[in-house]
Structure formats: C-alpha cells, structure tokens
Structure 1
Amino acid sequence: MRSFFRSSRRPGADGQSGVFLALARCVPFALALLVVAIELSPAHFVYTGPVLTATPALAAVTMGPRGTVSAAVLALAVSVTTATYNQAWGTQPVYTNCVAVVLVSGASVMTSRAIARRRGIELDQVRRIAVAAQEVILRPVPARLGPVRAASLCLAAGTGAQVGGDLYDAVETCYGVRMIVGDVRGKGLNAVRAVAVALGAFREAVHYEGDPVEVMNHCAAALQRETAMPGAFDQEALMEGFTTALMAQVPPGEPAVELINRGHPPPLLLRQGTVHALTPTCPLPPFGLEDLITGPPVKAESYPFLPGDRLLLYTDGVIEARNRDNSFFPLAHIMEGTHADSPQHFLAQLHQQLLRHTAGALADDVAMILLDRLS
C-alpha cells in the first residue's frame, strides 16, 4: 500500500539539504582546481596561497576525516606541482605557502575527527533512546495465547535513529485471541506517535468491544483525533496521514480466524505445505481514508483456521524487499520451503532468508506475527 502512494510524495527539505551538502563538498576540490588553472596560466603571478590553504579547512566542515585527508593531500600536491612548474622554489612565498598548507591540513584533520567522534556519540545515544522507546511501544507477543502459539519479529530499516512505523500486538481476551499488524506512513516522531495512538486504542478496545469491526473503528477514530490536534503532525504527515492495518481474531472454540483488513497486505495461511492468501472479498481503505468506505456495513470475514495451520501477518516491508536484480522477496514460496517446529524458529528462518535476499540492506521496516493453531 505504501508503494501505491509513493509517487504522490512531494520532495521535502531532506532532498534539498542533501543537494546542498553535495555541492558544499565539491567546494574544496573546486578551489584546488581553480588554483591549478591560475598557476598554469599567464596569470600565475596572482598569489593563490590563501585560497589553497583554505581547501582542507573547508573540507573539515562538510566531510569526514577521510575526505579531509584527501583534500589536504590534494592541496599539498597542487602547491608542490605549481611551484615546480613555475620554477618558484627558493622563494619565501612558496615555503610559507607549503608550511601553511601542512599546518592547516593537520589542524583540519584533527578537527574533522573530533566532529565525527562527537556525532557518533550523539547518534549512539539517540539510537539507544529510540530502541528503548520502540521496545516499550512494541512489546513481544506472548509465546502462548489460548489455542495458538505465537511469535513476533520487528526490524527497522535504514541507519541512524529512525524508528520504524510498523505496529503489532496480540492479546488474549474473553472474545478470543486478537491481533493487529499495521504500517504507518512515514518515519520518525510522527510515525512513532501514530503507532502509539493506534496501539493504545487497540489495547483498550479489544477487552470490551465484542465486534472486531468496532475495535478497528476505535483505532481509526483515535488516529483522526490525534491528526486533528494542532501541532500533532507536520503538514506532510497531514497530507499523507494514513495507516494500513489488519486485525485477526481467533474465536474461542471455533476452528476459524476472522479478519478485518484496512488496506493491508493479506495474511498468508500455510496448510499442509501450501500457502493460501486470505484476500478480502470487500477491500477497505486504510485508516485516515474513511470517506472512501461505501456500501453495506463492514463485517469481519471468516476463514478456516484448523489445528496444524500456520498464519502469518506481516507488513509490506517483507513482500516489497528487493534483491540486486530488483526482484521482490518471494514470501509465499519461502514459507512453503521453510520447516520449523515452533513459531520462533520459523520467523528466525524467514528473517535469515529476508536478509540473504536483500544482502542485509532493508529498504523498509518489517513486522511479522506468526500463529500456530494447536487445537
């Protein structure tokens, strides 16, 4: 579902800042080339020492230690080459310029290393805070829930301190075992806030709402209230404020599973070595697009869920994962070829297959819940 809306996303400040940073990194090398052009031309009488000395200093601001060393080596090479070409060795300006380049280069490299070290410490602190927050919001599902065994897996894509926008939970209630898996548009604080709101509404409503449709309506209403609050989300989040979600319910004493699908990828049922996609007969839009719901009242759709069956709920980060050949991850095929005696081992094998397929570089967040029907 996320890929369906991807083309409508407007370029933001991140793209503009990336272009500006790339241009800024070119400035030191452009200055070195300018010095070469002047020194090898009839205008070589122009004193270019200060310009060349500034090259490593500028590199220290926009590059890491390696880039600063490269700029320093280039500046020194240009200084030596142009002095030799112009037969200027033995003059005081040449020696002064070389000494200045060496001193500024050394100081620039040390400064660049200090900046990189400080950024690494700050980023590590933010990562730890983000991971702790995510573990509080996304707690692991219990290993046993009534008539099913369960396991969960959550992987955040990318680097840095980005917290994923995937959500999941599984709760045993008087109405049966109830689970939710969802995917919030975007990343960062807006996604974390939406995940917390949706899960909070779900964890409250599952215990007193008998109809799973009403549970999902509570989640949608909570997200609408949060989105309507002034300052709750930025303008981009308001424009793209939708969340795909899937709720599954295993009623007590019934060999079935009831599903409410709000624009989410259909769950996969593994029965006797064959995978079946539980595609909804009446597709519903994601949270945030309730105006598109028309027709008769929404009802949960029921599917057989027999002892020995395995049910996988997942986010689109799994099926949209690509390899170097730009091929999608064949989730259904991998499930049919995976054999494990427990949900934890099954998800662990899926995890390894996913990392192998993407060479360890996930482009999107991943969340999965696996259920084994026991009785």
Structure 2
Amino acid sequence: MPFLIALAVLVIEFTPAHFIYTGPLLTAVPALAGVTMGPKGTTAAAALALAISVATATYNAAWGSLQVYTNFLALGLVSVAGFISSSTVQARRQRELDQVRRIAVAAQDVVLRPVPGRLGPVLAGSLCLAAGTGARVGGDLYEAVQTQHGVRMIVGDVRGKGLSAVRAVAAALGAFREAVHYDDDLVEVMNRCAAALRRQVAVPGAYGQEVLLEGFTTALIAQVPDEPVVQLINRGHPPPLLLHEGRATPLVPAVPSPPLGLEDLAPGLVVKVENYPFVPGDRLLLYTDGVIEARNPDGEFFALPEIMEGMPAHTTPAEFLEQLHQALIRHTGGDLADDVAMILADRLGSEPRTPPGGAGAG
C-alpha cells in the first residue's frame, strides 16, 4: 500500500492532474510502512517519498515556497516516527517469537526425548530432524525403553505434517511408553499404539472445531532380549538395516503388513513377530523414509546401506549418527524434503540384566 500511494502521487504530479495537493499523500507513505513493514521497509518507503518530493518540487519549480519546506518537515517527522514504531513492533514480535520457541523446545523434549546411551544389552543413540521448520518434531516418532522383557524400540512416520501429525506422534508414543512395561506380547504393544491412533481420528481443537488426524502411520517395533537376536514387527515401515561384519542388510519382513490405520485393506490380518540374529558387535539402524528418500540436486536417492558400510567401525552410536547426519546434509545440500528420525543400537556381549532404573531400583 505505501508504494501504491507513492505511485499514485507520481501519476498525479507528472500529469495534468498535478493541481491536486499531494503532500498529505506522501506523508502517509512512511506512516503506513511503519505499521505494515519492518525498519528496512520503512526506511525504503521514506527514501522513496523523499525522492518523489524532490522530483515534484523540481518539476513544478516550487523550490523556495513555504509549502515545499512544510511538506519536507512533515515527511521527515513522520518517517522518524514510523521507523521508531516499526523497530519497536519488530523487537516485541521477536521477543514473543523467542518465547514461543522456548516453549516449543520444552514441549518437544517431552514428546521426542533423546534415548539413553546405555540400555541393557545395547548402546544406543538417536537423531531427529524436522524438514524445513527448524523444529525437532514433525511427523516422525521414536523411542527406546529398557523393560523386563528386553530393550524395546519404536520408529514411526505419521502421514502429514503440522499440528495433526504432532498429535498423532504424542498419541502413539504415549501408548508405546505405557504398554512396553506391561505387555509380554510384542504384537499387543503394536496393537496398543494402533488403538491410540484410532482414538485420535478426531480430537477437539480450538474454538470447538474438530482437528482431523492423518490417515495412517507406518511403524516398526524392535525388541532386543538377552539372547543374541532382535525381534521385529513391521507395519509398512522401511526395513531396519543390520550392519554385520561390515555389510548392511535390510531386515525385510517375510509377510508385509499394512501401516497402522489401514487394517481394513488387509482382512484377516495376522501380525507376527520375526526373529533375526543380532550378535555382539552388530549394529542395528532403525530409520524413517526421510533418510532413504532424500535426494541430491541430480535427483539421486541417499544410498544408506553403502554409506553405513563405508563409515568407521569403532565409533559410538552418537558419533555414528552424527557422521550419518553430515553425509545426509552433504547429499541434499542441507535441504531436507522430509522429516528424519533414526535410532542406532550396538549389540554388546551377554551380561546379567539390570532392572529398569538401575541396580538399586526397587
């Protein structure tokens, strides 16, 4: 609007309509800019208004008249006031934004917290990146918990983004964190997560509106007992990678199962636990499709198995994930198109189980 007013003044002053008094119109240019634009925009609008005033005064041979100097004085005062106003508004908005971000980070730490570095028979690490938002919570979810049944981990991907995806992530993780401690059957843990998502198909939003959650969620649950195996349930999720003696192998389910929320597409669905060898020295990577679907500028996908095989063997899970993160950034040029979540578990040697909460728990 400020620049449209400036254009209108130019049209009036340099056409036969120049008999119209345009001083108040030019004064409105920095005033409106101070309300609708930042300090830089206000400065640009004031400079443009000043340039137009000089040009019109010269064109109309009005230099020396009291009206011209009055217009310049009014324009200068309004420009200064507009600049101060826009600077104050911008500073206040920045403070409010910083406060919102601090609250968001605290909430994110509750929803997606880093996994502990040691969980029973495994060393673990986690990484989560939300695409294009600067936040850490998107549609991806992960968790790892030590229980009396072994170490139980989940990685999932909610279809969609935004608030509805975050609601679904919170529902699934809440169900998982509760069920892993009480359900012996790993299938029942997955069923609890599915039930929690079904209950959240429509939840109350602001002002009484309904907020519809997304249609389905891919999920993978892994259990690492004391025995040298890993037990998996895969509901439409990318298969985890097992790094054994320098070779990365995808643990593809024998019978594919649909994602959570799409059970109607598979009548008579029977979900089973599948066992795979997981011996000391092995590495298990659980991840979301944002990793393997990341593209470089030439459209090539991120070669996750090859990247894993080429990484140094003697690194901690945190170091390994950081190197994987850097490789992903280099591949995409820092432009992630989808959320990314990963859990890395290193299998240790056999040892007596430590109860959750430490040796002194209970």
TM-score w.r.t. length of structure 1: 0.83
**Alpha-carbon distance between aligned partners in 2 of 1:231 and 1:207, rounded to the nearest angstrom:** 31
Matched with 1:53 is 27
Structure 1 stretch displaced more, 166-175 or 314-323: 314-323
Q: Which residue of structure 2 lines up, in the alignment, with residue 237 of structure 1?
A: 212
Separation in structure 2 between the aligned mates of residue 37 and residue 201 of structure 1, nearest angstrom: 66
In the alignment, does 2:177 pair up with 1:200?
no
Q: Taking structure 1 as reference, are residues 265 and 77 closer, same or farther at Cα in structure 2, changes over 3 Å only?
A: farther
What is the aligned counterpart of 1:176 among 150, 164, 171?
A: 150
User: Which runs of structure 2 are paired with 1:182-221 in the superposition (5 Å)?
Assistant: 182-221=156-195
Check conservation: 1:169, 1:180, Cα contact below 8 A.
Answer: yes
- Structure 1 segment 255-274 matched on structure 2, within 5 A: 255-274=228-247
Structure 2 distance, partners of 1:69, 1:87, is 27
Whether the 8 Å contact between 2:179 and 2:192 is mirrored in structure 1 is yes
Change (3 A) 1:237 1:337: farther
Q: Which moved more, 1:213-222 or 1:172-181?
A: 172-181
Larger Rg: 2
Match of 2:57 in 1: 83
Partner of 2:94: 120
**Amino acid paired to 1:372:** D
SS at match of 1:244: strand
Alpha-carbon offset, residue 220 of structure 1: 0.9
| Aligned-residue offset at 1:324 | 4.4
Is 1:226 equivalent to 2:200 in the alignment?
Answer: yes
SS in 2 for 1:264: coil
Cα distance change on mapping 1:235 and 1:358 into 2, 3 Å: farther
Superposed CA deviations along residues 17-43 of structure 1, whole A, max 9, x for unmatched, are xxxxxxxxxx22222222222222221
Amino acid of the structure 2 residue aligned with 1:147: P
- Preserved CA contact (<8 Å) 1:130 1:163: no
> Aligned-pair distance for 1:218?
0.4
Aligned to 1:372: 346
Q: Structure 2 unaligned segments of length 5 or more: list them.
A: 350-362
Secondary structure of the residue aligned to 1:44 is helix
Task: Map 1:318-333 onto structure 2 (within 5 A).
Answer: 318-333=291-306
1:336 corresponds to: 309
Q: Secondary structure at the match of 1:298?
A: coil
Change (3 A) 1:29 1:168: same
Matches of 1:234 and 1:347, distance apart in 2: 41
RMSD: 2.5
Structure 2 residue 268 is the aligned partner of structure 1 residue 289: no
Partner Cα separation in structure 1 for residue 135 and residue 276 of structure 2: 40
Distance verdict in 2 for CA 1:102–1:333, change over 3 Å = farther
With over 3 angstroms needed to count, the CA separation of the structure-2 counterparts of 1:45 and 1:282, relative to structure 1, is farther
> For residue 326 of structure 2, what is the aligned residue in structure 1?
352
1:316 aligns with 2:320: no
Q: Secondary structure at the match of 2:106?
A: helix
Q: Which runs of 5+ in 1 are unaligned?
A: 1-26
Q: 1:295 to 1:226 in 2, by over 3 A?
A: closer
Match of 2:354 in 1: none
Post-superposition shift, 1:202?
0.6
- SS for the counterpart of 2:270 is coil
Superposed CA deviations along residues 178-208 of structure 1, whole A, max 9, x for unmatched, are 1001223444443333222211111111122
In structure 1, C-alpha distance between the alignment counterparts of 2:216 and 2:2, rounded to whole Å: 44
Q: Tell me the distance in 1 between the aligned counterparts of 2:36 and 2:299.
A: 33
1:359–1:296 CA distance, 2 compared to 1 (3 A): closer
Q: Name the residue aligned to 2:7.
A: 33
CA distance in structure 2 between the aligned counterparts of 1:234 and 1:303, rounded to whole angstroms: 46
